[in-house]
Amino acid sequence: MIEEEKFTESLFEAPNIDQQERMLEAILFASSDPVTVKEIIGRLPHGCEPEKALKNLKEKYKSRGINLVKVGDCWALRTASDLSFLMQKETVEVRKLSRAAVETLAIIAYHQPVTRAEIEEVRGVSVSRGTIDLLMELDWIKIGRRRMSPGRPVTFAITQNFLDHFGLESVRDLPGLKELKSAGLLENPPPPGSPVPEEILEGEDQQSELFNEEKSI
């Protein structure tokens, strides 16, 4: 009876960590989109430790031509950033974003969730419907929740595809406001009642310096 119980338990024993890493590699390699931990757990045998396997694989791929990177709440295999020049022949630039589109995208990224009126207040000019449509077509921005204010205006926020396209793990990896301003973007302070989320600031000093300069102009 005891031997039978041991045999039954062995049937459900999780693979060793090396085998789990191999399975994880297969899942990530076959997926065209970043994969969530929940999806990974659903595919691996019962009892596996996906978090541990991901951590081990990330370290192993650290110095390889392919890196395991975190994109938002997902994981994906990506070409090492220092070898991206090797892919240039396969890269096709379909269109170039206008300055208005770049500014609008930057404002949404740094002030999300933000309404169209707030974007226009930051830019100082109106935002065309075409600009919003283009960014949504690229799947870089999405419609968020409606504001609990008169008219219930919709808000906009960046998407996971935006993070993936620009090689960012989260909004914390966005350049600081000082760099953004030096590039000629966000030349006006954010509208009242629309503070910049703390996680995308490099420090409170940067924000204070930027807004103080704006007030002195």
Query: Which residue type sits at 16?
Result: N
Fold equal for 2-80 and 99-197: yes
Per-residue pLDDT of 40-74, as tens digits, reads: 988 888 889 889 999 999 999 888 998 999 888 89
Q: Given pLDDT bands bounded at 50, 70 and 90, which one contains residue 199?
A: very low
Tokens of 4: 């039978």
At CB < 8 A and 24+ separation, what contacts does 181-187 make? 181/210, 185/102, 185/103, 185/106, 185/107, 186/103, 186/106, 186/107, 186/110, 186/122, 186/210, 187/124, 187/214
pLDDT of residue 197 exceeding 60, the answer is no
The yes/no answer on whether domain 2-80 falls in CATH 3.30.1370.110 is no
C-alpha atoms less than 13 angstroms from C-alpha of 142 in its C-beta half-sphere:
9
pLDDT of residue 13 exceeding 70, the answer is yes
Helix axes 116-123, 99-111, angle to 10 degrees: 120
pLDDT of residue 75: 92
Of residues 9 and 113, more confidently modeled: 113
pLDDT of residue 90: 54
Per-residue pLDDT of 90-140, as tens digits, reads: 555 566 788 888 888 888 888 888 888 888 888 888 888 888 888 988 889
Q: How many CB atoms lie within 10 A of CB 165?
A: 13
* Mean pLDDT for the chain overall: 77
Tokens of 125: 């000019």
Contacting residues for 185 by C-beta, under 8 A, at least 6 apart: 102, 103, 106, 107
Domain boundaries, given as residue ranges, for the chain? 2-80, 99-197
What sections of 12-98 are H helices per DSSP?
17-30, 37-43, 50-60
Share of the chain above pLDDT 90, in %: 6
Of 15, 21, 80, 16, nearest to 56 (Cα)?
21
Task: Report the SS3 class of residue 77.
Answer: strand
pTM of the model: 0.48
Per-residue pLDDT of 179-190, as tens digits, reads: 766 766 555 555
The yes/no answer on whether domain 99-197 falls in CATH 1.10.10.10 is yes
Burial class of residue 47 (count of CB atoms within 10 Å of its CB; 0-12, 13-18, 19+):
exposed
pLDDT of residue 92: 58
Q: What are phi and psi of 108, to 5 degrees?
A: -65, -40
Strands (E), the chain: 35-36, 66-71, 74-79, 114-115, 141-146, 154-158
